Amino acid sequence: MNFSNLSEIATYIVSEGKGILAADESNPTCKKRFDTISVESTEENRRDYRELLFSSKGMSENIGGVILFDETIRQKTDAGQSLVDLILESGALPGIKVDKGLKPFEGSEVETLTQGLDDLDERCAEYAKLGAKFTKWRAVINIGDGIPTQECIDANMEALAKYAKIAQKNGMVPIVEPEVLINGKHTIEDCYDATSRSIKSLFDYLKSYDVDVTGTILKPNMVTAGSDSDQKSSVEEVGEMTIKCLNESVPDELPGVAFLSGGQTEIESTEHLDKMNKIGGFAWKLSFSYGRALQQSALNAWLGKPENKNAGQQAFAHRAKMNKLAALGIWSADLEN
């Protein structure tokens, strides 16, 4: 796969209903996932599980990119092939998570700022040599009493813009992820407000740092009520409010919006994505960049046992196909059985 510029890479990742497999869980997060199926989180087990996903038939046609963790981009399969080459063989592009997690924002107990800019240029140069075609950086915005503050939003969005510029300088597409967390009792209107402020700020900063938007992918949350809210939003309401929010702030020349699943179930995240594509009325591809919502069934089918590899791969292939159909706006609930 030869690309002459970043715009072609970004466009390829979300072409024809394809989306992104987020397999960039840090080792502590991976341990939490493995704990749910009573599997020890060793380097070998993590490698075996990711090899199971990347070698599944579900990769081809459905997955355009895979976000990796630092450990994974350096690993080889049981047979000695690099995982990067395994991903490329499936027709997907390898990418890498480059942020270094969260620190408190100006001493706050509730707001955070993502770190990792200090040595980012050097790390990006190495990841490009290792075969990464794109990168990801996550900003986290909380909703609560008096938050998010505009200062916290702006600090995180400026960091996202600085990161994006460095990634592009090193020949990789930046995925910019301003995640407004679903945790809390907030209403869908509160989420709309925080998401809108975050995305507006993000694109203002991307412009001021002269980031090429045509070679960038946005990974936002959907606009939903908080996970502990008494308010239950319909699929239609989530779809309409999310599209309205994006249309107000996202430039038409952006190649793709690839949603995070952010605590939604596998079916919810597929259904919401499908609804938005059925509603339509936007200029960019609307796709997925799911972690748990692509992997949970596969993890539960695998259970860390070699004899369950095929079952795990089939479970992953099914979810990947369902989300591709949702990204094309042709999914329906009866296809799940």
Q: What is the pLDDT of residues 321-331, one digit of tens each?
A: 999 999 999 99
Looking at residue 57, its pLDDT comes to 97
Looking at residue 199, its pLDDT comes to 98
pTM of the model: 0.98
Reported confidence tier of residue 1, pLDDT bands at 50, 70, 90: confident
- Total number of domains in the chain: 1
Q: What is the pLDDT of residues 229-281, one digit of tens each?
A: 999 999 999 999 999 999 999 999 999 999 999 999 999 999 999 999 999 99
* Domain presence at residue 243: yes
* Domain presence at residue 20: yes
Reported confidence tier of residue 18, pLDDT bands at 50, 70, 90: very high
* Domain presence at residue 50: yes
* Domain presence at residue 12: yes
Give the C-alpha distances (Å, rounded to integers) separating 84 from 77, 91, 224: 10, 11, 35
Q: Which residues does the annotation mark as catalytic?
A: 177, 219
Q: What is the domain range of residue 211?
A: 6-336
CA 90 – CA 145 distance, rounded (Å): 46
* Domain presence at residue 1: no
CATH assignment of the domain containing 165: 3.20.20.70
* Domain presence at residue 110: yes
Q: Nearest CA to 81 among 60, 62, 57, 55? A: 55
What's the mean per-residue pLDDT of the chain?
98
- Residue 143 neighbours by CB distance under 10 Å: 21
Q: Nearest CA to 135 among 74, 217, 56, 78? A: 217
* Domain presence at residue 317: yes
Q: Are 152 and 198 in contact (CB under 8 A)?
A: no
How many helices (DSSP H) and strands (DSSP E) are in the chain? 12, 10
Contacts of 88 (CB under 8 A, 6+ apart): 1, 94, 131
* Domain presence at residue 71: yes
